A and B are shown apart, each in its own frame.
Chain A
């Protein structure tokens, strides 16, 4: 199957700092990438959808200025959590899809963010 990588897998930062998470599709062109947040023992919550070369579409209630998403190429999307606070601590997962994978979502391994 198609492979999606995510980096870093773990990050601990101080409150007020910014954190960037990268999501890469390694063997296919990802025209669309998704960013999810997952709370313990819950399903995934979609934060935003990004298409290559255009602005991300954010879900209701997700702050655009806090969670900056860039999808600059067909293999890379980044999520930047700006001025992180303890309530931003969570498990963030990206996924990617495209025509070459018949619109199937392939997920990254996730990033655990802990804000102190």
Chain B
């Protein structure tokens, strides 16, 4: 069965320092993987997606993620955090056609 685990419920970083949000998945086939960001009282915005092409995926706002099959991971990174990055981040994995499993979310706090 497919599953997704976001390893940290909260992450705090200082502005200008790197961001690492961790996501591990379990899948019996090659899934598609997504990262979304949600700002307060807003919908989810797609940051990036992996669909079995290049393992290093570049997204919007300077974010990128690397698909590592051997580690079943899809961690989200950004070299330098900005105050506007403070939000909730969700890792999502496909579990069949038009079926998706959400992680529990990671709240990123950026300190001035």
From known contacts A49-B98, A103-B32, A107-B36, infer whether A93 and B104 are also in contact, taking CB-CB under 8 Å. Answer: no
Does any Cβ of A come within 8 Å of B28's Cβ? no
Q: Which of A13-21, A72-80, A108-116 contacts B (4 or more CB under 8 A)?
A: A108-116
Bound state CA distance, A105 and B49, in angstroms?
10
Interface of B is mostly: strand
Q: Which residues of B contact A105 (CB under 8 A)?
A: 34, 46, 92, 100
Bound state CA distance, A97 and B99, in angstroms?
11
B42 with A109: CB separation less than 8 A? yes
Q: Which of B46-61 contact A (CB under 8 A)?
A: 46, 49, 51
Total residue contacts A-B, CB cutoff 8 A: 47
Q: Which residues of B contact A103 (CB under 8 A)?
A: 32, 94, 97-98
Does any Cβ of A come within 8 Å of B45's Cβ? yes
The listed residue (B41, B42, B102) touching A43 by CB distance below 8 A is B102
A108 with B43: CB separation less than 8 A? yes
B104 with A43: CB separation less than 8 A? yes
* Interface bracket on B: 20 to 34
B43 with A110: CB separation less than 8 A? yes
From known contacts A43-B103, A103-B97, A105-B92, infer whether A91 and B34 are also in contact, taking CB-CB under 8 Å. Answer: no
What's the nearest-Cβ distance from chain A to residue B54, in Å? 15
Q: Which of A77-116 contact B (CB under 8 A)?
A: 91, 93, 95, 97, 102-110, 112
Bound state CA distance, A42 and B6, in angstroms?
13
Tell me the nearest residue of chain B to A51, going by C-beta. B98
From known contacts A43-B103, A43-B104, infer whether A107 and B90 are also in contact, taking CB-CB under 8 Å. Answer: no
What are some 10 contacts across the A-B interface (CB < 8 A)?
A42-B104, A43-B104, A102-B51, A103-B98, A104-B46, A104-B49, A105-B46, A107-B43, A107-B44, A109-B43
Chain B positions within 8 Å of A, measured between CB atoms, are 32, 34, 36, 41-46, 49, 51, 90, 92, 94, 97-98, 100, 102-105, 107
Beyond the given A44-B90, A110-B42, please list 16 additional residue pairs across the A-B interface where CB-CB is below 8 A: A32-B98, A42-B104, A43-B102, A43-B103, A43-B104, A44-B44, A49-B98, A93-B44, A95-B44, A103-B97, A103-B98, A104-B32, A104-B34, A106-B46, A107-B43, A109-B43
